[in-house]
Chains A and B, each alone.
Chain A
Amino acid sequence: MNKGEQRRLTVLSSPSEVRLLAKFSTDAIFDMLSEEDVASIELAIVEVANNILEHAYNFEEGHPIQLSISHRGDALELLFFDKGPAFEYSQIATPNFAWDNVDDIPEGGWGVFLINSIMDEVEFERQGNINILKMIKKLPSAKIAAGFSEIEEKVALLQKNELQQLRRSLHESEETINEMAEELSSAYESLNLFYSLSRDVALFSNLNTFLKNTLEKVLSISGADWGVVRLRNERKLLVFASSDECPEQILSDEIAIDDKSMIEGKVADSLKLEIQSSYLGFSGRVLCLPIVGLDEFLGTILLGKDDLNDGFSSGDAMLIRAMADQVAVSIENNRLYSKAMDAELDKQEMQRARDLQKKLILQKLPEMPGLRFFSKTEPAKQVGGDYLTLEKVSDSVIFLVVCDAMGKGMSAAYFSLLSHMAVHSILLQQNGKDITPGELLSLVNKVMFRDFDLFGMFMTGFVGKIDLDKNLLSYASAGHCQPILFSPDHGVELLDTLDFMMGVDANIKYKDFHVDFLQDMKLLVYSDGLTDIIGTNEEIIGLEPLVALCEKTFKNKDIAGACEAIYDHVFKISGEQLQDDISIIGVERVI
């Protein structure tokens, strides 16, 4: 398989089809891993498939199992889909290894243990009524890279420790500076400058201005002829402020942080107060001080005197060192400030995105004699992945659509927007009266498939089409949670189709189903935010309570009243905090 490639196969549940899956997987990966690894992945795949056969489908043959294999560059991603009841992998116990005699040895139950031993990551997820098992196997190069980054981390830690030591010694020097303040009673002017610098820290939000100002003051205190302040940008030290007299070779002296010995030389030498200027290729005296922030090397202050005989005093050095600390504080503040600013801007952007999404989704309810509508959508985060719409295509025909893109936040919101475009344009393009819900869903899936594939996204969706002339509700579902249909005579029933979610197979054909939709019947279409709720006692609320609630409220209330009551109830049991996006469409036939 090439990098970025994805292969998919859907088989039906039976031992012989599991062999097909195994063959399909080894064919896909044989050139990517060692013989042992290919063999172990084949084993993991067969074990997962066996589990699905047993636990999801109870050994019944003919149910779908889908496997998708993606080469993600540094890892192999395997996704299994099935339609059985939820199967919680993490709750499977490790087999008993501590048997004493042969009769105690288990003859099964190794499956999950084997899968976990072979794969680097195993994650189980339920989307709508589909089980998704995601497994990651890192490829050898990724393992080597991980090894490298571990080494890098260790080196960074060592450097961090060195810098911490440095900082500690700098702190000690702060104490000395107090003593020195007395000694320097003759240097009032210098001290004033130092204090004004502390004040500047608060005044300047512009780092360049601040550093320029600082450098001027440092020069006047130390009596240095020239100076330069460099700050670290990733792996380089960049000149941020320099005095006019600064020698050309100093400014052009590009220092890469990679050259660790160089920095260490400078930092270490700075502790000895001075470094030999010949080191830098000119005559004179040079003082180099590190600027050290919270555990981090931020830059240097380099000062020079042209006269070889006029060195820097220890007093100069101590004072400048304290200034370097002030510079460090200022840089940290600057960073925090821009972080806070970015966060605020992000928040405002998100609000705008939310407003936009609301406008797209919550249009005015259509008016149609004989039908009453309700719609509500609430994202759990600022933007959500739900999309719902009611599209009237003629005087007697209306489409209702609910889609739920996997996940929350921006990427889900993006797919919500895409589905809006797809649904809307298909209904405009095709004569809405003639297209069936299944055809609409199949087309949406086809149109969006490239995007699903690109982002590894999945989406469930339900399309209902009410035709008043024919008294008919036609519907199709792409793995979406089952809508609830109420009739005064038969109570509530769930509209279940057995189709998969969108984003799995570009050519899937969603099936159409039909039921009568007569006077006083009500329909509730919703996203799983309404059922998959963890209650205050950690219990999963699920579908049954919703069905019971519908049975009660649909009898006594009109559609809007019933839907509001259902939403309020769910909101309350979620602890007044939405856990997932909630979308509801309600329809009632009044004539």
Chain B
Amino acid sequence: MSEKIHVLVAEERLDAGNIDVLKSGTSELLKAGGLGIVIDFSNTKFIDSIGLGALVSILKTTSQHEMKVVLCSLSVQVRQIFELTRLYRLFDVFDNVDDAKASMYT
């Protein structure tokens, strides 16, 4: 099995307008296979509940493919919505890409 870890840099805004881009991006990576996907939010300033729903859906599909998905570099706003919806317990969240990648090997 491939040891590859994919890093997907999320866009500045994740909402109804562009959430399909993230979804298709991850499904391509799932096809490619590997240990898992790190979704890097360092550029992302805003995410709404539609974006959040997509992340939940991505999490479900990756686990079906026996791959991991972890998040990193969350901004204030992104962190906030995870806390409000109590979904932070669902995702593994890291401060930066390196920590996120390192977690894949454990």
Q: Which of A1-46 contact B (CB under 8 A)?
A: 15-16, 18-19, 22, 35-36, 39-40, 42-43, 46
Residues of A within 8 A of B76 (CB): 35-36, 39
Considering only CB atoms, which chain B residue lies closest to A97 in the complex?
B86
* Residues of B contacting A111 in the complex (Cβ-Cβ under 8 angstroms): 49
- Which of A36, A97, A105, A110 has a CB less than 8 Å from the CB of B49? A110
Contact status B16-A15, CB under 8 Å: yes
- The answer, yes or no, to whether B106 is at the interface (CB within 8 Å) is no
Q: Are B16 and A50 in touch, CB under 8 angstroms?
A: yes
Contact with B along A108-121 (1 / 0, CB 8 A): 10110110011000
Contacting residues, chain A, for B81 (C-beta < 8 A):
43, 114
In the assembled complex, the Cα of A108 lies from the Cα of B56 at a distance in Å of 9
Cα(A182)–Cα(B50), bound, Å: 84
Known: A35-B76, A42-B77. A47 touches B48 (CB 8 A): yes
Q: Answer yes or no: B60 CB below 8 A from chain A CBs.
A: yes
Residues of B39-93 contacting chain A, CB below 8 A? 46, 48-50, 52-54, 56-57, 59-60, 63, 76-77, 80-81, 84-87, 90
Min Cβ gap A26→B in Å is 9
Contact between B85 and A110, CB atoms less than 8 A apart: yes
Closest to B81 in A: A43
Further 5 A-B residue pairs, CB within 8 A, beyond A42-B46, A102-B59: A46-B15, A50-B48, A108-B50, A110-B53, A114-B49
B13 at the interface (CB under 8 A from A): yes
Q: Are B57 and A113 in contact (CB under 8 A)?
A: no
Query: Among the listed B46, B52, B63, B87, which residue makes an inter-chain contact with A39, where contact means beta carbons less than 8 Å apart?
Result: B46
Please count how many residues in chain A sit with their CB below 8 Å of the partner chain's CB atoms.
Answer: 29
Residues 91-113 of A at the B interface (beta carbon under 8 Å)? 95, 97, 102-103, 105-108, 110-111, 113
Please, which residues of chain A bring their CB within 8 A of the CB of B16?
Answer: 15, 18, 50, 53
Once the chains bind, are A95 and B53 in contact (CB under 8 Å)?
A: no
The B contact surface, by secondary structure, is helix
Q: Is the CB of B56 within 8 A of A47?
A: no
Residues on B with beta carbons closer than 8 Å to the beta carbon of A18: 15-17
CB distance from B32 to the nearest CB of A (A): 22
**CB <8 Å contact, A108 and B17:** no
Q: Within B2-37, which residues are at the interface with A (CB < 8 Å)?
A: 13, 15-17
A-B pairs, top 5 by smallest CB distance, nearest first, are A39-B77, A15-B17, A107-B53, A110-B49, A15-B16
Q: Is the CB of B53 within 8 A of A108?
A: yes
Could you pull out 14 A-B pairs where Cβ atoms are within 8 angstroms?
A: A15-B15, A15-B16, A16-B17, A18-B15, A19-B17, A36-B80, A39-B46, A42-B46, A43-B80, A46-B46, A95-B85, A105-B90, A106-B56, A110-B49
Complex contact B48–A46 (CB within 8 A): yes
Query: Does B17 contact A107, Cβ atoms closer than 8 Å?
Result: no
Q: Within 8 Å CB of B86, what residues of A?
A: 97
Asked if A102 contacts B63 (CB within 8 A), the reply is: yes
Q: Whole-angstrom distance between the alpha carbons of A40 and B17 in the complex?
A: 19
Flag if A108 contacts B49 (CB, 8 Å). yes
Q: Name which residue of chain B comes closest to A14, CB basis.
A: B17
- In the bound complex, CA of A40 to CA of B49 (Å): 12
B54: chain A residues at CB < 8 Å are 107
Q: B50 is contacted by which of A35, A36, A50, A117 (Cβ under 8 Å)?
A: A50
Question: In whole Å, how far is B66's beta carbon from the nearest beta carbon of chain A?
Answer: 13
The CA of A46 and the CA of B49, in the complex, are separated in Å by 9
Residues of B within 8 Å of A117, CB to CB, are 84
* B84 engages A114 (CB within 8 Å): yes
* CB-CB nearest in chain A for B54: A107
Task: Provide the residues of chain A in CB contact with B53, threshold 8 Å.
Answer: 106-108, 110
Give the docked Cα–Cα distance between A39 and B81 (Å). Answer: 10
In the complex formed, the residue of A with least CB distance to B51 is A46
Name A42's closest neighbour in chain B (CB-CB): B46
Task: List B contacts of A107 (CB < 8 A).
Answer: 53-54, 56-57
CA distance A389 to B56 in the complex (A): 58
Residues of A contacting B57 in the complex (Cβ-Cβ under 8 angstroms): 107
Chain B residues near A108 (CB-CB < 8 A): 49-50, 53
Q: Is the CB of B63 within 8 A of A22?
A: no
Complex Cα gap A16–B77 (Å): 20
Contact of A113 among B15, B50, B59, B85 (CB under 8 A): B85
Kindly list chain B residues whose C-beta atoms are within 8 Å of the C-beta of A106. Answer: 53, 56
Please measure, in the bound complex, the distance between the C-alpha atom of A102 and the C-alpha atom of B89, giving whole angstroms.
Answer: 11
Selected contact of B13 from candidates A19, A36, A39, A110, CB within 8 Å: A19
Chain B residues lying within 8 Å of A118, measured Cβ to Cβ, are 84
Max count, chain A CB within 10 A of own CB: residue among B46, B50, B57, B90: B50
